């Protein structure tokens, strides 16, 4: 049996989403058919509105409603420290700490020569342009992966000549982790980043 | 940091879907922002179209575009055997077998006195009405759960006086399963349903 055409189309569209296989697309579709009309309309609209009304912040490239994102418009945040992240969602992780009071810069990706992603594909030029205005430190908060490391070293090489400090989030043991279960790379980093107590 | 408002709204709407937690709602939302405009429009539309244009088949209560679903309109299928399922998606599971050539009836739920779901909440009356027209067998293909069993016994008691055969899918060992790992209830059913070889 084929599903009725509009149902099959809905399932096909849902299946395109990341992490949604044929089975969960079906489950979602049947759920949607049982949802109240208003709820479906709200979901449908939120997709269009988000896609239509969001853009990148002119300054930090974060996802934003206006020319400047909330963080860049916040006068209580300092301009002299910039935290560089790979994706806009990484900002949320940092902001949960309630610790960092500087600004951000979103690269929208990480260097990956194998997939053909070089500095031109990332928002690197936009970052360098921001450094003219009294920035004292750039914290590179890219993921601790090969791509994240490559990106961090590339940025350090580019920015250090401008006499701006470039730092990186520490690698090491996750808090609460057990030495016995740590992988070699993590443990090696923990040793390398060790500090006096 | 708050997400930009349209992004927060999209995440909120996605979070309402079953199996979508805060984290995956965020992941989906960021993915949607990166999707092509056309793809987002197609997804958004498919939600509305499915919700608006689908209805229940007048005969079997399956999800359908017209008054009669594809299966009920198929002249190659016989009318004398009806397979009763709990949900419309159960039809897909049966149809994958390519074995059953009769028609279906969707109850849209299973009896569950604790949750207040009695025969009136299900499409039982519609099933009984269909039985007048020369039906010789009703196969109850409800899930092998307490609710499925209760529903099966209830239907059997209701239909048998009409001199129509009521059968049920066999319980037993899953093909390829190991006796050693089977739970007691399954093994007990397998014993009970045993047949001569």
DSSP-derived 3-state class of residue B4: coil
Q: Do A15 and A94 have their domain in common?
A: no
Nearest CA distance, A29 vs chain B (angstrom): 8
Distance CA A125, CA A110 (A): 14
Residue A106 near chain B (CB below 8 Å)? no
The answer to whether residue B70 is domain-embedded is: no
Q: Do A147 and A97 have their domain in common?
A: yes
Stated pTM of the model: 0.76
Q: Do A24 and A106 have their domain in common?
A: no
pLDDT, tens only, A119-172: 999 999 999 999 987 899 999 988 888 899 899 999 999 999 999 999 988 878
Q: Do A86 and A152 have their domain in common?
A: yes
Q: Do A34 and A84 have their domain in common?
A: no
Q: Do B175 and B143 have their domain in common?
A: yes
pLDDT, tens only, B8-19: 999 999 999 999
Q: Do B80 and B48 have their domain in common?
A: no
Q: List the CATH number of the domain containing B143.
A: 3.40.1360.10
Closest residue, chain B, to A96 (C-alpha): B1
Q: Do A43 and A96 have their domain in common?
A: no
**Interface contact flag, A43 B14, Cβ < 8 Å:** yes
ipTM over 0.90: no
The answer to whether residue A71 is domain-embedded is: no
The answer to whether residue B176 is domain-embedded is: yes
B79-108 burial, b at 16+ Cβ within 10 Å, e below that, comes to eebbbbbbbbbbbeebeeeeebebbbbbbb
Residue B125 near chain A (CB below 8 Å)? no
Distance CA B88, CA B81 (A): 18
The answer to whether residue B48 is domain-embedded is: yes
The answer to whether residue A11 is domain-embedded is: yes
Collect contacts of B75-81 with beta carbons under 8 A, ≥24 apart. Answer: B76/B101, B77/B101, B77/B102, B77/B103, B78/B102, B78/B103, B79/B103, B79/B133, B79/B134, B79/B135, B80/B134, B80/B135, B80/B136, B80/B137, B81/B135, B81/B136, B81/B137, B81/B138, B81/B139
A170 alpha-carbon distance from chain centroid = 18
Q: Do B123 and B188 have their domain in common?
A: yes
Q: How many domains does chain B have?
A: 2
Q: Which of B3, B23, B36 is the best mutation test for A, with the most CBs of A within 10 A?
A: B3
Q: What is the mean pLDDT of chain A?
A: 90
- Torsion region of B98: left, alpha or beta (phi above 0 gives left; psi -120 to 50 gives alpha): left
Token pair of B124, please?
């039982």
The answer to whether residue A67 is domain-embedded is: no
Determine the structural domain holding residue A142 and report its residue range: 76-196
Q: Do A143 and A185 have their domain in common?
A: yes
Nearest CA distance, B195 vs chain A (angstrom): 31
Q: Do A20 and A92 have their domain in common?
A: no
Q: From the first residue on, what is the mean pLDDT of each consecutive set of 10 residues in chain B (197 residues)?
A: 86 94 92 94 96 94 94 94 92 85 95 93 95 90 88 94 89 77 77 73
Nearest CA distance, A163 vs chain B (angstrom): 30
Q: Do A99 and A32 have their domain in common?
A: no
pLDDT, tens only, B65-77: 999 999 999 999 9
Residue A179 near chain B (CB below 8 Å)? no
**Interface contact flag, B29 A16, Cβ < 8 Å:** no
């Amino acid at each position: 049996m084929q599903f009725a055409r509009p149902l099959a189309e809905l399932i096909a569209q849902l299946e395109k989403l990341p992490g949604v296989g044929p089975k969960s697309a079906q489950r979602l579709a049947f759920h949607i058919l049982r949802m109240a009309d208003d709820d479906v309309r709200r979901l449908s609209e939120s997709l269009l509105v988000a896609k239509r009304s969001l853009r990148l912040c002119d300054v930090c490239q974060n996802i934003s409603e206006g020319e400047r994102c909330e963080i860049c418009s916040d006068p209580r945040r300092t301009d002299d420290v910039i935290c560089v992240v790979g994706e806009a969602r990484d900002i949320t992780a940092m902001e949960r700490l309630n610790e960092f009071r500087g600004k951000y810069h979103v690269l929208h990706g990480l260097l990956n020569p194998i997939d053909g992603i070089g500095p031109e594909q990332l928002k690197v030029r936009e970052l360098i342009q921001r450094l003219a205005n009294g920035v004292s430190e750039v914290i590179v908060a890219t993921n601790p992966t090969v791509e994240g490391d490559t990106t961090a070293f590339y940025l350090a090489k580019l920015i250090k000549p401008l006499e701006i400090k470039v730092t990186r989030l520490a690698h090491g043991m996750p808090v609460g982790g057990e030495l016995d279960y740590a992988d070699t790379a993590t443990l090696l980093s923990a040793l390398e980043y060790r500090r006096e107590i």
